[in-house]
């Protein structure tokens, strides 16, 4: 507790009910450091001891772990690509990047998701070309 904390006693019908801890008086409503002063939540990833670097648990949602990456790669290897992904790759093969982006945007709903998917599909194509080149050199 700060030395600036003010304790206020609440009386109800002449009896002491509760001691309320009030906020410091120097907090102001405007300016760079406005608002009620709070302490940082010291939760987050295990192993990180520095409070300044720690991540709040809510920020960890959706973070790709080694296990989730392994599972996704395994599923992609077994199941393959979705039909719309195959069509997007065909568009990218013939250098229709803008058309692929428009197509993916219609399918996925947002521009950012479409850009991310287009980048992912172009990386897949690059990997396929690389694997084909290695296979071609291995046969010679």
CATH number at residue 84: 1.10.10.1760
Q: Is 119 helix (H, G, I), strand (E, B) or coil?
A: helix
How many folded domains does the chain comprise? 1
- Distances in Å between the Cα of 83 and the Cα atoms of 3, 52, 87, 88 are 65, 45, 6, 9
Assess if residue 34 is contained within a domain.
no
Model confidence, pTM: 0.57
Assess if residue 62 is contained within a domain.
no
Q: What pLDDT, in 10s, does the model give residues 91-126?
A: 999 999 999 999 999 999 999 999 999 999 999 999
Assess if residue 71 is contained within a domain.
no
The phi, psi pair for 73, rounded to 5°, reads -65, -40
Assess if residue 122 is contained within a domain.
yes
Q: What pLDDT, in 10s, does the model give residues 69-84?
A: 999 999 999 999 999 9
Assess if residue 96 is contained within a domain.
yes
Higher-pLDDT residue of 65 and 99 is 99
Assess if residue 129 is contained within a domain.
yes
């Amino acid at each position: 507790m700060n030395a600036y904390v003010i304790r206020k006693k609440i009386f109800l019908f002449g009896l002491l009910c509760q001691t309320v801890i009030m906020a410091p008086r120097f907090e102001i409503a405007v300016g760079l450091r406005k608002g009620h002063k709070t302490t940082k939540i010291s939760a987050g990833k295990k192993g990180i001891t520095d409070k300044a670097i720690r991540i709040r648990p809510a920020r960890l949602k959706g973070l790709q772990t080694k296990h989730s990456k392994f599972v996704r790669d395994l599923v992609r290897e077994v199941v393959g690509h979705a039909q719309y992904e195959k069509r997007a790759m065909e568009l990218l093969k013939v250098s229709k990047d803008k058309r692929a982006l428009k197509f993916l945007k219609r399918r996925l709903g947002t521009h950012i998701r479409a850009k991310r998917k287009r980048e992912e599909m172009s990386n897949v194509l690059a990997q396929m070309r690389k694997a084909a080149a290695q296979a071609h050199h291995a046969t010679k």
